[in-house]
Amino acid sequence: MNNKITILLNWYHKQAYSFPWRNHYTPYTTWISEIMLQQSQVNVVIPYYILWMKKFPCLADLLQSNIDDLLFLWQGLGYYNRVKNIFQTAHIIQDQYNGSLPNDYNQLLALKGIGDYTASAILAIGFNIKSTPIDGNIKRVISRLYELDLSSIKVAEIKKYTSNYISDTEPRYSVQALMDLGREICTPKTPKCTTCPLSAMCLSYKNQTTSIFPIRVKSKIIPTY
């Protein structure tokens, strides 16, 4: 394990931001939490996640429900296609994978409602398999660490840079550490660089370019006719 990963993991285990989906790791709990978090803020999701796990602690319990039960439980969280996809995917998992989420990226990607980020997060966090989910927080951290213009490179390239900070043996915690770092320390405005565990290896901190990176893509001007 390289030094930068060790520093990141030590920071993660010391600061220990607590969320209910970190109390017990399974592919199922990771899947549900990541779908809920897709278009909702963490603090909004927490009570929904807790209630969901009380009613449907595992896939077998979820399969005993119907879509109306799930929609009622989801009420207020919005973007209801997410829960419809959960319902359909749960039955696909039962029929095609004997009731267990597959630990294969391409098989996960073929399931409804699961894209590149969610498939990678399920592998890394749920299965503890080295994988590289790229969300907004991780993008920002990596952009500043390497002074990368993310608008000019593909996600696959961002993943290569990110993998330098993901442990082979503890990918679950490495990924969550990067997420926490982006959410709590490496924020879009006024990042807390002096408390960042990776400041010594951060090009943006060294060159005082944290206000520049990540480079913001200018919105196209809407023409007036």
What is the set of active-site residues?
34
What CA–CA distance (Å, rounded) separates 201 from 6?
13
Whole-Å CA distances, 216 to 37, 38, 156 = 24, 22, 20
SS3 content of the chain, % helix, strand, coil (to 5): 60, 0, 40
> What is the secondary structure of 23-35 as a DSSP string?
SS--HHHHHHHHH
Where b means 16+ CB within 10 Å and e means fewer, 126-155 reads bbbebbbbbbebbbbbbbbbbbbebeeeee
